[in-house]
Amino acid sequence: MNLHEKRIPIIKIHDYLIVPIQVDMHDKMAIQLQSQILEEIARTRAKGVLIDISVLEMVDSFIGRMLSGMASMAAIMDTSVVIVGMQPAVAITLVELGLEMPGVDTALNMEKGMEMLERKLNNRKNNSV
């Protein structure tokens, strides 16, 4: 596996961006991904982002902070982020590590994540009427 060449795809479906993270990211890659997602939000005017981490075997403090930073930045851009598919071992480790991820929405899988985003968007529409 060549770590230098891997790129994480950002897929647009209707109003959403789907980001399947399928590589063990080094720090620079995580920072790059963060700005790529923000650029895509601006370019596509996506209303929601689903970040799938189901194949990630480890989330350390850096990646954890990147994910929660991502959610806050997207919120400022009026977009919701949902992190989906975190493995149980990763969740256990994150809590033991002492990393809190305030304001980060999570869902068990892609389908539940999508439903969560739709609910959020509907709520927002109803509130603004």
**Site residues, other proteins (CB under 8 A):** 3-4, 24-29, 57-62, 65, 87-90, 92-93, 96-99
- Closest approach of Cβ 72 to other proteins, in Å? 15
Name the residue nearer to other proteins (CB basis): 59 or 116: 59
Name the residue nearer to other proteins (CB basis): 7 or 43: 7
Tell me which residue of 57, 54, 1, 64 sits closest to 30, measured CA to CA. 64
- Closest approach of Cβ 7 to other proteins, in Å? 15
d(CA 104, CA 76): 13
Query: What 3-state class would DSSP assign to 70?
Result: helix
- The sign of the CA dihedral 62, 64, 67, 68 is negative
Name the residue nearer to other proteins (CB basis): 2 or 128: 2
Please provide the DSSP assignment of 25-55 as one string. --HHHHHHHHHHHHHHHHHHT-SEEEEE-TT
Name the residue nearer to other proteins (CB basis): 48 or 85: 85
- Closest approach of Cβ 83 to other proteins, in Å? 17
Written as six digits, the tokens of 83 are: 């992190």
- Closest approach of Cβ 35 to other proteins, in Å? 17
